Structure 1
């Protein structure tokens, strides 16, 4: 295919989706640090099964909550599905101060996944990102030069596998593709939250617990083990690890928190840099054309007058 046509498609696809891509990439950069922060867990001795169960009984005496999530960096616990305050795990009382880091991460996740409620725009922009990369590949290997265009092309080609992996795994998540098959059928009624906490505490450190919640009629737990965020289901035999959802692990950087988190930071920075430099290259091209067009118009007018 003609490289000039490919370049035009590359530019215009970027221009059309520039604003949503800026939002998605920027929030992705923020979320890249979440595994690094959360995988460290809570300080030793801050929580155990009895303490978590006690907090559940205190703030959800009717047992209506469908789950809870623990924010290790902010040392807070939030109940799901009930009108209960955020709990300060250090004191056991309702949190009186907001957690700025947690608030930013929550905002970033909602924006990254839903973009002000326009989920279709997130999916469309992610597909556009893949298309932009494929067009860049079809244009062939670049000549690397010490210029803005040279750095733009070099950064894209040297990090290409990681760049492609990010939007592709995001699309897998959006369409529910896990590469691990469906989870095993539930063999028992969902455990009450308190019983689920006691059960998982028998074999795991609850200081690294991320959440326990009822998902689709199945009680599930997610916790960090060796830097990886693992998922477990509750069975008659206790807790059973679920098959790894590799698209999610790779996209969120939860397969090895420190390494994968840093890789996601690098990918986000490169993607943001490529988008900005691409827009700068386009604007430079437009600004160069305007004086030429003005000069040509003036010359034509002068000739006509003569």
Structure 2
């Protein structure tokens, strides 16, 4: 295919999706640090099964909560599906102040997954990002020069595997591809307090991030050896779910610090590529002289009288 045509397609796809892509990449950068923050877990002695079940029964005496979410950075817990305040895990009382870090991460996740409330816009923008990278590959190896355009092309090529992995894993998540084999474990309905007691028998709840109903299945997510593992509750007890590799790779939850750092690098490079790409186009447009100026002949100064 003609490189001129590919360049135009690359340029106009970037311009059309520039704003949604910028929002998705920036929120992705914020979420990249979440595994590094959450993976550390709560301070030793902050939480155990008895304390956790006691807090659930205190703030949800009717047992109506659909789950819980724990933010290790702010040491707070939220009960899902009930009108209960955020709980300060250090004191056991209602949190006196909001958790700024947790609120930022929550906003970033909602925006990243449903931009302006539209999931289709995120999927369309992710497909556009994949198209942009594919066009870049089809245009062939760049000539590296010490210029803005040269650095733009060089950064894209030297980090291409990381860049491609981000939208491809996102699309796998959007279309439900997990690449896991075998039938899922049997489903079982279980009370939230019973789920806490069961997971605590074999796991350290200070590294627990969530227990909630997902797709009709009660699930728990807990950090173990730097990886965020998913478990479900069956008649046989707590059972590990098959690894969802696209999710692990995309969220950077397979090795906290290493995977989180790689995601930060990927997000920064994507932001730089998007901004420099738009700036290169803008600079080129500003440098062009209008057609009337190019077609007009030389200007002759009138003689002074």
Residue 209 of structure 1 corresponds to which residue in structure 2?
208
Residue 73 of structure 1 corresponds to which residue in structure 2?
73
Q: The residue matched to 2:23 in structure 1 has which SS? A: helix
Rounded to whole Å, the distance in 2 between the matches of 1:295 and 1:183 is: 70
Shift of 1:216: 2.5
Q: Spell out, residue by residue over 1:209-234, the C-alpha distance to the aligned partner (whole angstroms, 9 max, x if none).
A: 01111223321110000110000011
Rounded to whole Å, the distance in 2 between the matches of 1:182 and 1:276 is: 44
User: Does the 8 Å contact 2:185/2:234 carry over to 1?
Assistant: no
In the TM superposition, what are the counterparts of 1:100-179 in structure 2 within 5 Å? Answer: 100-179=100-179
Q: The residue matched to 1:142 in structure 2 has which SS? A: coil
User: Does the 8 Å contact 1:183/1:242 carry over to 2?
Assistant: no
Q: Are positions 1:293 and 2:291 aligned together? A: yes
Q: Spell out, residue by residue over 1:30-69, the C-alpha distance to the aligned partner (whole angstroms, 9 max, x if none).
A: 0000000000000000000000000010011110011001
Q: Spell out, residue by residue over 1:223-249, the C-alpha distance to the aligned partner (whole angstroms, 9 max, x if none).
A: 000110000011223211110000000
Question: Which structure shows the bigger proportion of residues in helix conformation?
Answer: 1
Q: TM-score, normalised by structure 1?
A: 0.95
**Considering only aligned residues, what root-mean-square deviation do their CA atoms show, in Å?**
1.4
Rounded to whole Å, the distance in 2 between the matches of 1:95 and 1:72 is: 14
Rounded to whole Å, the distance in 2 between the matches of 1:104 and 1:286 is: 37
Residue 4 of structure 2 corresponds to which residue in structure 1?
4
Rounded to whole Å, the distance in 1 between the matches of 2:217 and 2:279 is: 50
Q: Are positions 1:56 and 2:56 aligned together? A: yes
User: Does the 8 Å contact 2:173/2:247 carry over to 1?
Assistant: yes
Residues 182 and 59 of structure 1: is their aligned pair in 2 closer, same or farther, counting only changes over 3 Å?
A: farther
Residue 303 of structure 2 corresponds to which residue in structure 1?
none
How many residues are matched? Answer: 300
Rounded to whole Å, the distance in 2 between the matches of 1:281 and 1:51 is: 57
Rounded to whole Å, the distance in 2 between the matches of 1:250 and 1:23 is: 20
Aligned structure 1 segments of 4 or more residues deviating by more than 3 angstroms: none
Residue 274 of structure 2 corresponds to which residue in structure 1?
275
Gap runs ≥5 in structure 2: 301-305
Rounded to whole Å, the distance in 2 between the matches of 1:158 and 1:10 is: 18
Q: Spell out, residue by residue over 1:118-138, the C-alpha distance to the aligned partner (whole angstroms, 9 max, x if none).
A: 211111000000000000000
User: Does the 8 Å contact 1:228/1:257 carry over to 2?
Assistant: yes
Rounded to whole Å, the distance in 2 between the matches of 1:183 and 1:106 is: 32
Q: Spell out, residue by residue over 1:132-176, the C-alpha distance to the aligned partner (whole angstroms, 9 max, x if none).
A: 000000000000000000000000000001100001111111111
Gap runs ≥5 in structure 1: none
In the TM superposition, what are the counterparts of 1:14-53 in structure 2 within 5 Å? Answer: 14-53=14-53
Rounded to whole Å, the distance in 2 between the matches of 1:13 and 1:182 is: 40
Residue 251 of structure 2 corresponds to which residue in structure 1?
252
Rounded to whole Å, the distance in 1 between the matches of 2:162 and 2:227 is: 19
User: Does the 8 Å contact 1:78/1:86 carry over to 2?
Assistant: yes
